[in-house]
Amino acid sequence: MKARFATLALALAVLSGSTAALAVKTTGGEYNTLYAGLGAKGYDVVAYFADGKPTQGSDKFTATYGGVKWQFASREHRDAFEADPARYAPQYGGFCSWGVAQGKLFDVDPVNGWKVVDGKLYLNFNGDINTTFANDTKGFIGKAERNWPALNR
């Protein structure tokens, strides 16, 4: 019940135009680096593809892409990322995909809010928003694709 209320509250805040509730900022830059300047909050973005689950990265295995520091759980994952970073980097600069579909930039929960669709990584605000995103993935991706250019400036 609490989870549904939180999701409803977020949706109402977004629909009412409130940017104070959970909004990160109104314009992007290329990547979400709100957590210590790290991409994907320091989670290994290759692990979502290779292992099918979120895995915390290590400062032992890092790469820089798009001016952002990315961490990995292993040398192999780091090397895979360096060989093709665009393949592994999250969509919409690592901001909440559902939020981008709403025309807003929200932070993400890389543990409970993620989904790989057609070989691309989408991060979301939390597990509840991730479920909402999953209920109409193609629709939300379509909206996010239209909104991202204006947000990413």
Q: How confident is the model at residue 65 (pLDDT cuts 50, 70, 90)?
A: very high
Q: What is the mean pLDDT of residues 54-61?
A: 99
Encode pLDDT of 74-111 as tens digits: 999 999 999 999 999 999 999 999 999 999 999 999 99
Given this model, what pLDDT does residue 30 score?
A: 81
Model confidence over 9-32: pLDDT tens digits? 455 444 444 433 344 444 456 889
pLDDT band for 153, please (50, 70, 90 cuts). confident
How many Cα atoms are found within 13 Å in the side-chain-facing hemisphere of 6?
Answer: 11
Map out the domains of the chain as residue ranges.
Answer: 2-151
